Amino acid sequence: MVFPVLLVIIKALFASFIIVALLAGDGVGAEDVLLSKRVGASTLGKRGLDQDGNYNISFFHINDVHAHLDEFSTSGTDCTHPERGCYGGAARIKHTLDTLRPQHADSLFLNAGDEFQGTLFYTYYGGEKIAATLNQLGVDAMTLGNHEFDGGDSALGAFLANLTFPIVSANVRSTHPVLNATIRPYVVFEEKKLAVIGVTTATTPSISKPGNGTVFLDVVKTVQDTVDHIRATTGVVRIAALTHIGYEEDKRLAEATTGLFLIMGGHSHTPLGDFEGAKGPYPTIAHNKDGDEVFIVTAYRWGEYLGYIDVTYAPDGKILAYHGAPIHLTNQTQQDDSLKAQVKQWRGPFEKFAAEVVGQSSVTLEQANCKTAECTLGDVMCDAMLAYRRNESSDSSVNFALINAGGVRAPIDQGPITRGEILTAFPFGNAIVDLKLRGNALWDTLEGIVSGTNTANGAPVTSFFQVSAGIVVEYNPGNEPGKRLVRVTIGGKPLDKSAEYTLVTLDFLAGGESVQIIAPLNILTIRLYFPGGDNIFTPTTNLVVLDTQDVVLTNYVQAHSPINIEIEGRIRVVNGSGTPMDSVAVPSPSAMPSPESAASSVLEVGRLLLLLGVMLVVGVLGVA
């Protein structure tokens, strides 16, 4: 018995050595392919079925590319200084896939969504060039991210109509004819006897713009129902999920279901692997309701990494063995010449406009931490909105500006600021609007943001925030939700809950567009709105819609160059009494308690009270 197992181990190690050598010879250093592996009584390294019915498949996967068709710098902006490092790009992905997939006869290349939004390739072309690129890369299946809905159902339908591979999202239901005809719950790869289920975050309606006829069902229930259906109707037991729900939700999905043993995810931009900055192992191993292992992988963001995991399935669909790691696509990784030239050609129409310098910045305007704390790019954008609003009106009562951190998409590097950088940082075309709120409503709104739940309707708030000068928000993330806000200061004075305040924000947050009415002489535009984005505000109607974010920031940069700003303490983490705390881990909105976890907390309190009650009864009986 010892010799056959030893032989399998040697074969598997040899297979791993071949992969590393192959990649190193192709311009990807072995240090970038830190293979994680488990080798057991399997046929890892062989292809197809063995005499025991075990089956080996290689999965390549990407997620959250966000229109980065061309190579980029560490910040995700155009790579203008190759000596500092260039990463990703469709040409690198294609060359790497074209090199590796022939060595893995039973392989799949899967996409976990969010191809839209993030660079001028999307701003200028919509989904057209993204579709052309994905078709050339040889994608086998893709699920939808929330950003695929940013242009509405019709724009998504036009994108889907140009794809040559299946789109899977089991929890999306739509009355839009193209979406209804195109989106499948799952796809079965018959030759591999493998099913891939897709799911999209159920928060999409609050963070994007799907049509009224498109709904998003509960992820866990939908996945379990789909797994059960596949097993009952097809006999397929090798089932994987392609998800756009985020790393933490992937773990919850794994733990709440059965029959699912591999999850390839996206949405949270989580780096996994054995390298500095990784947020977990690749794969991350969770356990399902039956106690079986579920393997979770994701490949960070923008296409900087190509995910790769090779697994051996047992006859019952469970995973016996695996090896693999994200492949870092760097300067050393060769590019496909044809696709590289095509991407360069696509840049032509917008490159001159994008390259126009509109100002300077003395510092890098940071974006990376905007989703958890005050950030310099958020400060500048909000200051620009406030200045714009005050300059455009004789009304000096405007108090401050507020935006969602999720709308800040990329940093702006120190030095010249171009139109392209501004459009890349703020690509959504959101317009500036005014809101008037009573102090008590404003307090509740801010409490909802830092607690992660809208206090008016109980909906999850799905983004952190950024604010302008003129307001200071102090909160304690260690307090229970609903009691985290400690103090709000506006114009140097404590918030007055009976006073009325005017803030400048975005049309997306204030309500989401429905009907647009343009007044005579184009003096103003009025729109009627549906529920607000990210669930930050209670829906508001009849808003005056002004210029878009990119126009407002461009004008501000031109008037205030060079930009020189540092963190001012507009958003502060404090203890319960309002004293600044030196070191507190600020939770991101995704880490804030969900309604499910809140319910779980209530149950825990109930159990504790029940236990105390029993102890009290026992004590009384003992005394008696």
Q: Are residues 435 and 495 both part of a single domain?
A: yes
Q: Are residues 335 and 458 both part of a single domain?
A: no
Give me the CATH number covering residue 146: 3.60.21.10
Which residue, of 346, 376, 395, is where some domain finishes? Answer: 346
pLDDT the model gives residue 578: 52
* Cis amide bond preceding 562, omega within 30: yes
pLDDT the model gives residue 464: 96
pLDDT the model gives residue 233: 97
In whole angstroms, give the CA distance from residue 92 to residue 26: 11
Which residue, of 346, 369, 392, is where some domain finishes? Answer: 346
In whole angstroms, give the CA distance from residue 332 to residue 335: 9
- Record the pTM: 0.71
pLDDT the model gives residue 262: 99
What is the amino acid identity at position 187? Answer: V
Which of the given ranges, 29-38, 74-83, 286-295, 542-551, has the highest pLDDT on average? 286-295
Q: Are residues 300 and 360 both part of a single domain?
A: no
Q: Are residues 88 and 229 both part of a single domain?
A: yes
Between residues 518 and 95, which one has the greater pLDDT? 95
pLDDT the model gives residue 39: 56
Domain that residue 185 falls in: 58-346
Average pLDDT across the chain, whole number: 84
Each residue of 348-363: pLDDT tens digit? 998 888 899 999 999 9
Each residue of 29-43: pLDDT tens digit? 333 444 556 654 334
Q: Are residues 388 and 305 both part of a single domain?
A: no
Query: Is the C-alpha dihedral spanning 478, 484, 490, 496 positive or negative?
Result: negative
pLDDT the model gives residue 7: 40
Q: Are residues 449 and 529 both part of a single domain?
A: yes
Q: Are residues 278 and 412 both part of a single domain?
A: no
pLDDT at residue 261 greater than cutoff 90: yes
Give me the CATH number covering residue 543: 3.90.780.10
pLDDT at residue 274 greater than cutoff 90: yes
pLDDT at residue 152 greater than cutoff 90: yes
Q: Are residues 119 and 263 both part of a single domain?
A: yes
pLDDT the model gives residue 420: 92
Each residue of 226-240: pLDDT tens digit? 999 999 999 999 999
In whole angstroms, give the CA distance from residue 313 to residue 336: 33
Question: Would 25 be classed as within a structural domain?
Answer: no
Q: 512 is written with which tokens? A: 């989401």
Q: Are residues 395 and 510 both part of a single domain?
A: yes
Q: 350 is written with which tokens? A: 């917008």
Between residues 325 and 33, which one has the greater pLDDT? 325
What's the domain count of the chain? 2
pLDDT tier for residue 560 given thresholds of 50, 70 and 90: very high
Q: Are residues 71 and 133 both part of a single domain?
A: yes
341-345 mean pLDDT: 97
- CA angle, residues 510, 516, 520, in degrees to nearest 5: 120
Q: Are residues 382 and 334 both part of a single domain?
A: no
Which residue, of 323, 346, 369, is where some domain finishes? Answer: 346
pLDDT at residue 616 greater than cutoff 70: no
Query: What percent of the chain lies above the pLDDT cut of 70?
Result: 79
Question: Would 14 be classed as within a structural domain?
Answer: no
pLDDT at residue 425 greater than cutoff 60: yes
Evaluate whether 385 touches 435 at the Cβ level (below 8 Å): no
CA distance readout (Å), 205 to 331, 409, 456, 532, 534: 38, 19, 18, 9, 9
pLDDT at residue 603 greater than cutoff 60: no
